[in-house]
C-alpha cells in the first residue's frame, strides 16, 4: 500500500508540473482493511473430527470475543480491525483439504492462513503454504518432517513438535523405571507422521539413555487398524514390563477395548488419547478400562502462569458459557485452538505489516516471551514448538468413579506417585 501511495504521489506531482497545477497533491495514507481475513479448515466428520472440532471451537470463541470488542488490534494500521473467519469443512479427507487450502489462498485471499488440526490434515497445508509463500499458523500438526531449515513458512502454535512429545515417557522409563522393576518395553505405533515421529523419538531417547532398558517389541501398524487382538497376544509373548501404544483416538479406543476383551494385564500401559480426549475415551472404553492407564497430562489439568490472555480457569468459564451443551469436549484440543488464537492476536499487535515474512518475524519474536494457558510459547529455528510441555500422568478414579489425572513425571510438576505394577 505504501508503494502505491508513493507512486500516486509521484504521479500527482508529475501531472502538476506538466499541467501547471498550482495545488499540491495530497499524500495518500495506507488505508486499513475493513476486516482481517483468517482462513482455516475443520473436520466435522470422519476420523479426525474429535480432535478438529474442539480446536476449531477454541479459535471461533476467540474470534467472537475479539469482534465483540471491536476487533483485534493491528499494529500495522494502529487500530482495531474485525476478524472475518473463513472456514471450510474438509470432512477428515486430505484430498478435500488440499482443494480447500488452495481455495483459501487463491480465491478468498486470506491474510492469515491457519491449518486444520492434527498432522494428517496439516500435511497438505505445509506444502501449499510453502508453494504460495503464505505463513502457516500450524495449530496442532506436530509431525517432525514439517519443520525444516529450508521452509520458513510455518510455526507450531500449541502442541510441542512430535520429536519431543515422548521425552517424559522415556525419562520416566529410563530414570525411574529400573527401580520400579521396568526393564523390558514394548512399542506399538500407528504409521502416520504424528505417532510415527513419536515412536522414532521414544526409541532414540531410550537407547541414548544407556539405561538397563530393553525394547523387546517394536512394531508399526496402519492408522486404520481397528482390531488389535493378535497384536496384543504377540506383545504378551514378548513379556514386556511396560507397553507404549502410540495412535490416534480411534486406535486407542480399539486397543483398550481389545485389552479388556482379551483380559491382558500389562504392568504399565501408556496411550496418548486418554489424556487428550478423556471424555471420548471414557465414553467408549469406560472409566474402569482407563484406570491406571498412563497418558499425557493436558494443559486443561494444569495451571500454567500466564502473561497474555485468560488463565485456564477463566477460559473454562468462557468455554462453558459458549458451549453449554457439552457436545464439544473441553480439554487438550480446546486449549490448543485458543492458544493459536492468542499467538495470532499477539502477532498482529507487534507485526509492522501483514506481509507474510513480517508475520513470521513477529511470531518468532514472541518465542520464550509469551506465556499462555498452554505454557511457555517457544520455537526452535525451524518453527517447531519446544516450550509447551506434555507431562506424563496416570489416570485414577475419584470417589465418584470419575477419571482424574495424577501427574507423575517430571518430578517438578508431579502431583502424585505412579501405581506400578498396574493392578
**70-97: pLDDT as tens digits:** 999 999 999 999 999 999 999 999 999 9
Please give the pLDDT value at position 401: 87
Q: Please indicate, yes or no, whether residues 115 and 93 belong to a single structural domain of this protein.
A: yes
d(CA 363, CA 22) in angstroms, rounded, equals 47
Query: What is the average per-residue pLDDT within 167-184?
Result: 97
Q: Please indicate, yes or no, whether residues 57 and 153 belong to a single structural domain of this protein.
A: yes
**278-292: pLDDT as tens digits:** 999 999 999 999 999
- High-pLDDT (> 90) share of the chain, %: 89
382 lies in some domain: no
Please give the pLDDT value at position 400: 87
Please give the pLDDT value at position 23: 37
Q: Work out the pLDDT band at 334, boundaries 50, 70, 90.
A: very high
Give the range with max mean pLDDT: 7-11, 15-19, 82-86, 192-196: 82-86
43 or 402: whose pLDDT is higher?
A: 43
Enclosing domain of residue 114: 36-161+302-377
Please give the pLDDT value at position 12: 40
383 lies in some domain: no
Q: Please indicate, yes or no, whether residues 274 and 318 belong to a single structural domain of this protein.
A: no
Please give the pLDDT value at position 259: 97
- High-pLDDT (> 70) share of the chain, %: 93
Q: Please indicate, yes or no, whether residues 153 and 183 belong to a single structural domain of this protein.
A: no
Total of domains in the chain:
3
**What CATH number does residue 153 fall under?**
3.40.50.2300
Q: Work out the pLDDT band at 392, boundaries 50, 70, 90.
A: very high
Q: Please indicate, yes or no, whether residues 13 and 42 belong to a single structural domain of this protein.
A: no
Please give the pLDDT value at position 270: 98
Residue 423 has pLDDT above 70, yes or no: yes
Q: Please indicate, yes or no, whether residues 291 and 317 belong to a single structural domain of this protein.
A: no
Q: Work out the pLDDT band at 402, boundaries 50, 70, 90.
A: confident
419 lies in some domain: no
Please give the pLDDT value at position 181: 97
Q: What is the pLDDT of the chain when averaged over all its residues?
A: 92
Q: Please indicate, yes or no, whether residues 361 and 247 belong to a single structural domain of this protein.
A: no
Query: What is the average per-residue pLDDT within 31-60?
Result: 96
Residue 107 has pLDDT above 70, yes or no: yes
Q: Please indicate, yes or no, whether residues 403 and 259 belong to a single structural domain of this protein.
A: yes
Q: Please indicate, yes or no, whether residues 408 and 288 belong to a single structural domain of this protein.
A: yes
Please give the pLDDT value at position 20: 37
Query: What is the average per-residue pLDDT within 260-283?
Result: 95
Q: Please indicate, yes or no, whether residues 292 and 185 belong to a single structural domain of this protein.
A: yes
138 lies in some domain: yes
Q: Work out the pLDDT band at 30, boundaries 50, 70, 90.
A: low
HEC secondary structure over the chain: CHHHHHHHHHHHHHHHHHHCCCCCCCCCCCCCCCCEEEEEEECCCCCCHHHHHHHHHHHHHHHHHHHHCCCEEEHHHCEEECEEEEEEECCCCHHHHHHHHHHHHHCCCCCEEECCCCHHHHHHHHHHHHHHCCCEEECCCCCHHHCCCCCCCEEECCCCCCCCCCHHHHHHHHHHHHHHCCCEEEEEEECCHHHHHHHHHHHHHHHHCCCCCEEEEEEEECCCCCCCHHHHHHHHHCCCCEEEEECCHHHHHHHHHHHHHHCCCCCCEEECHHHHCHHHHHHHHCHHHHCCCEEECCHHHCCCCCCCCCCHHHHHHHHHHHCCCCCCCCCHHHHHHHHHHHHHHHHHHHCCCCCHHHHHHHHHHCCCCEEECCEEECECCCCCECCCCCCEEEEEECCCCCEEEEEEECHHHCCCCCCCCCC
Q: Please indicate, yes or no, whether residues 289 and 306 belong to a single structural domain of this protein.
A: no
Residue 27 has pLDDT above 70, yes or no: no
Please give the pLDDT value at position 116: 98
Query: What is the average per-residue pLDDT within 288-309?
Result: 95
Q: Please indicate, yes or no, whether residues 285 and 333 belong to a single structural domain of this protein.
A: no
Amino acid at each position: 500500500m505504501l508503494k502505491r501511495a508513493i507512486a500516486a504521489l509521484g504521479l500527482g506531482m508529475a501531472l502538476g508540473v506538466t499541467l501547471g497545477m498550482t495545488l499540491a497533491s495530497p499524500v495518500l495514507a495506507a488505508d486499513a482493511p475493513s476486516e482481517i481475513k483468517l482462513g482455516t479448515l475443520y473436520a466435522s466428520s470422519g476420523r479426525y473430527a474429535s480432535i478438529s472440532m474442539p480446536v476449531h471451537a477454541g479459535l471461533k470463541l476467540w474470534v467472537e470475543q475479539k469482534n465483540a470488542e471491536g476487533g483485534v488490534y493491528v499494529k500495522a494500521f494502529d487500530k482495531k480491525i474485525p476478524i472475518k473467519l473463513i472456514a471450510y469443512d474438509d470432512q477428515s479427507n486430505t484430498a478435500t483439504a488440499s482443494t480447500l487450502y488452495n481455495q483459501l489462498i487463491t480465491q478468498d485471499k486470506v491474510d492469515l492462513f491457519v491449518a486444520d488440526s492434527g498432522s494428517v490434515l496439516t500435511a497438505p497445508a505445509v506444502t501449499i503454504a510453502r508453494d504460495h509463500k503464505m505463513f502457516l499458523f500450524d495449530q496442532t500438526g506436530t509431525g517432525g518432517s514439517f519443520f525444516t531449515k529450508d521452509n520458513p513458512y510455518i510455526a507450531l502454535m500449541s502442541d510441542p513438535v512430535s520429536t519431543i512429545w515422548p521425552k517424559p515417557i522415556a525419562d520416566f522409563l529410563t530414570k525411574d523405571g529400573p527401580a520400579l522393576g521396568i526393564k523390558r518395553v514394548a512399542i506399538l505405533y500407528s504409521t502416520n507422521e504424528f505417532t510415527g515421529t513419536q515412536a522414532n523419538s521414544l526409541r532414540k531417547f531410550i537407547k541414548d539413555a544407556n539405561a538397563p532398558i530393553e525394547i523387546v517389541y517394536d512394531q508399526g501398524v496402519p492408522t486404520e487398524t481397528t482390531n488389535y487382538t493378535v497384536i496384543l497376544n504377540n506383545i504378551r509373548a514378548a513379556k514386556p514390563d511396560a507397553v507404549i501404544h502410540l495412535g490416534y483416538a480411534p486406535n486407542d479406543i480399539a486397543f483398550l477395548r481389545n485389552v479388556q476383551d482379551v483380559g491382558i494385564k500389562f504392568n504399565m500401559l501408556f496411550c496418548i488419547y486418554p489424556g487428550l480426549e478423556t471424555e471420548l475415551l471414557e465414553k467408549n472404553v469406560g472409566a474402569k478400562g482407563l484406570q491406571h492407564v498412563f497418558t499425557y497430562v493436558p494443559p486443561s489439568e494444569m495451571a500454567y502462569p500466564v502473561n497474555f490472555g485468560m488463565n485456564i480457569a477463566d477460559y473454562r468459564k468462557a468455554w462453558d458459557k459458549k458451549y453449554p451443551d457439552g457436545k464439544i469436549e473441553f480439554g487438550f484440543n480446546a486449549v490448543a485452538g485458543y492458544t493459536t488464537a492468542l499467538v495470532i492476536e499477539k502477532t498482529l499487535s507487534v507485526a509492522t505489516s501483514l506481509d507474510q515474512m513480517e508475520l513470521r518475524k513477529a511470531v518468532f519474536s514472541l518465542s520464550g516471551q509469551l506465556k499462555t494457558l498452554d505454557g511457555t510459547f517457544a520455537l526452535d529455528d525451524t518453527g517447531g514448538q519446544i516450550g509447551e510441555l506434555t507431562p506424563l500422568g496416570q489416570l485414577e478414579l475419584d470417589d465418584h468413579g470419575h477419571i482424574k489425572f495424577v501427574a507423575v513425571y517430571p518430578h517438578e510438576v508431579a502431583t502424585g506417585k505412579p501405581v506400578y505394577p498396574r493392578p
